[in-house]
Amino acid sequence: MKILLTGARGLLGSEISLLADHLILKKTKSNLRISQITGVSSGKHEGFLTADITTENGIEKICSADWDTIIHTAAWRSPDQCEKDKAGAFRINSWATEQLASEAAKRKAKMFHISTDYVFSGTNPPYKENDKPSPVNYYGETKLMGEKAVLKLCENPIILRVPLLYGMAAGLQKSDLLYGTLKALDSGKPWPMEDSIVRYPTYTGDVAKAIFFLLKKNASRIFHFSGQCKTSRYRITATFAEIFSISMKNIVRLEKAPETEARRPNDSHLAMGKILSMGFPPPMPFVERLKLLKGEIEKES
């Protein structure tokens, strides 16, 4: 398998790269034999294929590269940024996804596309893979358009929807959840944290494993993957405070989420029975994972 990975320097892409390198070294004897992985970056970085996938030229570079499997993680994932710059959000989350799906179809390559729980409205959780999407913001709309293009153009693609991610493979600062929470606790000034929107923090290391599990199974269509801990930004902050022994005194609990550029679904919990029924193990609870990552986080903070 020759993999092309978009967003290879991002929060999730870095984790996928790490695991792929490990699998290449291990020369696994299973039917998942990875011989190379080419990471794509929009900037110039040693060891990466430079391609801005929002341009014709960037797409051409990807079309000229040698791959038979594409894992597409590159996206704009900030709902507020997408709401503010709809043209930009459409170009990367929908248009570029369609171009890549089209190229994958042309060369009969496997397309693995990463999507989001924000394709759902958040009013009727938990959501199964075949539930009807109904996004409440433009980010969700653009990701849904990307999904539709992939399903229409590719034979047997995989779409994996994930919720709020955290992880350390790309460094602490790339993980909004980890870095943002520590910054809030250390800020020394009143810091509002909302306690109403339901979150299921999901570890990128588990998502990377789920991706290679699905590829190994030669799965197709839509799958959901989610952490199992039901929480909120405020409660996540309280968990951090306890594990890192930091006071919560400057954290101001907001009962209602403040107005933001983009609306957020209230509870877009993804049911992940489908992948579990295939034998993938349930992810470690958030608190346990955070305790394991504590040393690594402290080193970088």
Ligand X SMILES: NC(=O)c1ccc[n+]([C@@H]2O[C@H](COP(=O)([O-])OP(=O)(O)OC[C@H]3O[C@@H](n4cnc5c(N)ncnc54)[C@H](OP(=O)(O)O)[C@@H]3O)[C@@H](O)[C@H]2O)c1
Q: For ligand X, which is the closer residue by CB, 68 or 176?
A: 176
Contact track, ligand X, 48-67, x by CB under 6 A: ----xxx-------------
Nearest approach, Cβ of residue 37 and ligand X (Å): 15
> How much helix, strand and coil, in percent to the nearest 5, is found in the chain?
45, 15, 40
Report whether 28 contacts 19 (CB < 8 A).
no
Q: Which two tokens stand for residue 236?
A: 């996540």
For 243, residues 6+ apart whose C-beta sits below 8 A from its C-beta are 287, 290, 291, 294
Report whether 13 contacts 6 (CB < 8 A).
yes
Q: Which stretch binds ligand X (CB under 6 A): 26-34, 47-55, 63-71, 263-271?
A: 47-55
Cα 142–47–180 angle (5° rounding)?
50
Q: Which stretch binds ligand X (CB under 6 A): 8-16, 185-193, 254-262, 265-273?
A: 8-16
Q: Is 99 in the site for ligand X (CB under 6 A)?
A: no
E strand map for 30-76: 36-41, 48-50, 69-72
Q: Give residue number: closest CB to ligand X.
A: 10
Residue type, 97: T
Catalytic residue (choose from 118, 127, 138, 139): 139
Nearest approach, Cβ of residue 190 and ligand X (Å): 25
Indicate which single residue of 38, 69, 99, 116 sits in contact with ligand X (rule: CB under 6 A).
116
Nearest approach, Cβ of residue 206 and ligand X (Å): 13
Is position 139 annotated as part of the catalytic site?
yes
Q: Is 41 in the site for ligand X (CB under 6 A)?
A: yes
Residue 39 CA: distances (Å) to CA of 5, 21, 99: 5, 11, 17
Nearest approach, Cβ of residue 205 and ligand X (Å): 13
Q: Which two tokens stand for residue 281?
A: 């193990």
Q: Is 160 in the site for ligand X (CB under 6 A)?
A: no
Contact positions vs ligand X (CB under 6 A): 6-7, 9-13, 41-43, 52-54, 73-75, 77, 92, 114, 116, 143, 162-165, 174
**Catalytic positions:** 139
